[in-house]
Structure 1
Amino acid sequence: MTRTARRTRRTLQVAGAGAAALLALSACSSSDSDSSATSDSATSASSSDKLSGTVTVFAAASLKESFTTLGKEFEKEHPGTKVTFSFGGSDNLAASITGGAPADVFAAASPKTMKIVTDKGDTVGTPSTFVRNQLEIATLPDNPDKVTSLKDLTESGMKVVLCDKEVPCGAAAQKALDAGDLELTPASYEQDVKSALNKVVLKEADAAVVYRTDVKAAGGKVEGVEFPESAKAINDYPIARLKDAPNAEAAKAFIALVESAEGQKALTGAGFLEP
């Protein structure tokens, strides 16, 4: 081989190696670009899944303390969200929802009141029972009237208040009275369980038939008396996302929190029974 041929061959080899290097660099650049694009895409997707805005929850009055706690936890877990509550008698809340009041979630104190909403087609899916609740007698601190049974409330001179018969706690109280074959004419019927309890707290009544959770929430302001007839009148609490929920994704996430182990721990800690 001549000197000129060998020189030409070396030149072609160097050129080929240079081209290969350029192709390798180009491939790396393309790979890095694709990886970056994938990462950006994942970040964007994660960002788009982030919850935000207000979630409005209509809930039975007996859920006030535990749901308020869970609402704060929800906001902590999902920065940028806010949970607002409307607490009251389940029947009144159901009427508001079927009347068009904007809300995302409804948690009722009985299946009967939830049915008012589901019958109108205002819920998504089938409501699920997330807790149960049992009645107790709330008396003045230290139980000055020595109340030990439901029958004691029927004695003359006792000023007793009950929830309205259309409210779940009132319907449960009547069921317990029926189970004991007892008749009781209360001093007043209250629109929700908190109003009934408050009559005792303010010493405007000697006793009230309320939920055990409300007695516990009141602390030393009242004393609780258990009675066997309450076992015949335990209420299931259903929860559901509403069909026209303004913030459906946050509504689903709030219900998930309520039904989670963390949510159940908060609820049972407040005195509710497991579903």
Structure 2
Amino acid sequence: MALALCLAAPAAASAITVYAAASLREAFPEMAPAQTYNFSGSNELALQIERGAPADVFASAAPEEAQELFQKGLCSRPVTFATNVVVMLVPNGNPGHLKSVYSLRQGGHTIAVGIPGVPIGGYTRELLARMRLSSILTNNTVTLEKNVTGITAKVALGAVEAGFAYVTDGRIVSDRVEIIRLPRWAQPPVRYQACIVHRAGADTAGAQKFMEVLTGKRGRTALKKGGFGLPPKA
């Protein structure tokens, strides 16, 4: 009697866990849908990783968080994979009648801004300082948000008259908000960096493959589609 030879099917690659800035919530799942994602403020995610969170890859909206983890030996050398620009968002119909960011100088408006510790909060304050408009954060009623998702939600719902976020976030809710561009000369250098997390039990091989996709054609295509800028190819 012939014996049937049973060949075990190769095991499917398990998903890695990616901790990423909230502004990447659309681009990353499109680029690599099989992974497990945790999207939030970059500073909050970095703190969780320092405390032992089960992340395999960390993607930050600013270099500082990733570089700090690297200096502490908690991740590989960070790689810049995308850029962005800061814009002002207003609800559809522009209820505050804001023609530009300068309209906020008169005060009396409601605006949503990132908290100082999160990248979008830092970028916003740097941009306003360059434009000598820091006073709008005291002349108006300001709602502080932990990440860009909170900012765009407040604007899209009409809970505030304006909010400062990335242009990519404005595109995500473009059916409910209007994007007011800010001067190029005042833009801070918004750079996204990613690294492989060093921890016991990390899927280093899977993380490396993710990084290759992120910096390769598929990743660059997804990021460009989402409105991100791209650094020169290595």
Please state whether the residue corresponding to 1:220 is helix, strand or coil. coil
Residue among 208, 219, 227 paired with 1:263: 219
**Structure 1 vs Structure 2 CA RMSD:** 1.9
User: Which residue of structure 1 aligns with residue 70 of structure 2?
Assistant: 118
User: Which residue of structure 2 aligns with residue 242 of structure 1?
Assistant: 197
Flag the structure with larger Rg. Answer: 1
1:158 maps to a residue whose letter is H
Q: For the Cα contact (< 8 Å) 2:62–2:190, is it kept in 1?
A: yes
User: Which residue of structure 2 aligns with residue 91 of structure 1?
Assistant: 43
Deviation (angstroms), 1:227: 1.1
The within-5 A match list for 1:140-219 is 140-182=91-133, 183-185=135-137, 186-219=141-174
Q: Which structure ranks higher in relative contact order (CA pairs < 8 Å, sequence separation ≥ 6)? A: 2
Larger helix proportion, structure 1 or 2? 1
2:105 maps to a residue whose letter is T
Pairing 1:228–2:183 present: yes
Q: For the Cα contact (< 8 Å) 1:61–1:194, is it kept in 2?
A: yes
What count of residue pairs does the alignment treat as equivalent?
Answer: 219
User: Which residue of structure 1 aligns with residue 230 of structure 2?
Assistant: 274
Identity of aligned residues (%): 29
Gaps of 5+ in 2: 1-7
Q: Deviations over 1:148-171 (max 9, x none)?
A: 322222332211110011110010
Alpha-carbon distance in 2 for matches of 1:238, 1:270:
17
Query: Aligned in 2, Cα 1:129/1:51: closer, same or farther, shift over 3 Å?
Result: farther
Gaps of 5+ in 1: 1-43, 76-82
1:123 maps to a residue whose letter is C
User: Which residue of structure 1 aligns with residue 58 of structure 2?
Assistant: 106
Please state whether the residue corresponding to 1:236 is helix, strand or coil. strand
Query: Aligned in 2, Cα 1:170/1:229: closer, same or farther, shift over 3 Å?
Result: farther
Q: Deviations over 1:106-126 (max 9, x none)?
A: 0000011212311221012x1
Alpha-carbon distance in 2 for matches of 1:234, 1:246:
31
Q: Deviations over 1:194-235 (max 9, x none)?
A: 101111112110000000000001121111000105743131
TM-score, normalised to structure 1's length? Answer: 0.75
